[in-house]
Amino acid sequence: MFINNSKFKGVIPPLAAPLTPDEKIDEKSLRKLIDHAISGGVHGIFILGTTGEGMRITDKECERAIQITINYLAGRAVLLVGCSDFGTQRTIEKMQKMEKEGIDAFVVTPSYFLPGYTSKELISHYTKIAQKSSIPIFIYNLPINQQPDIEVEALDEISKIDNIAGVKDSSQDMDHLMQVIGIFKDRKDFRTFVGTEVYM
């Protein structure tokens, strides 16, 4: 299945989730943060990733953050939403609760804090998730939280799964990143985003 990825481009920063002392989304501050990012000329925003407290706040507050962002963003930029959990089925259930018109893509890691994945297990993880989502999926390679690094060969196989739109690579490994760019540079249906400041 060809995914029209032309809207996924440029700079898409992760936004911190502004919270009140009782860990509720601070709506006023979230709106100010969105305005600040948009005024800086970004092409999209990414909420509820690891920077955006997606692992820490309740599902109810995650859903609230998404709805506030969709309503206030009002199509001014593309919206990527982090959706990861400790297992495949947990991730699918969380994703299905989050699905809303106005989300352009989900960004999904392998399961957190469970080292030793095989390539076969990673391919199975993303296949099951992609099949259950009506929204395109970005692979989130974040070895610091989901050891080990996703190998380039496995990433190539996962990229062939229907509904997989691209990868956000936060491996902090320049050799790995250059291999990824080399594999996907001619793929118009797959986007590669650099997800770390180490290269800046």
| Alpha helices (H) in the chain, listed in sequence order | 27-39, 59-73, 88-98, 119-131, 152-158, 174-184
Whether omega before 148 lies within 30 degrees of 0, making that bond cis, reads yes
Whether 168 is catalytic:
yes
Q: 29 φ, ψ to 5°?
A: -70, -35
Select which of 112, 132, 168, 199 is catalytic. Answer: 168
Select which of 24, 140, 160, 185 is catalytic. Answer: 140
> 3-class DSSP state for residue 25?
strand
Phi-psi region of 92 (alpha: psi -120 to 50; beta: other; left: phi over 0): alpha
Give the tokens for residue 63: 């859903």
Whether 140 is catalytic:
yes
Q: Which amino acid is at 125?
A: H
Catalytic residues: 140, 168
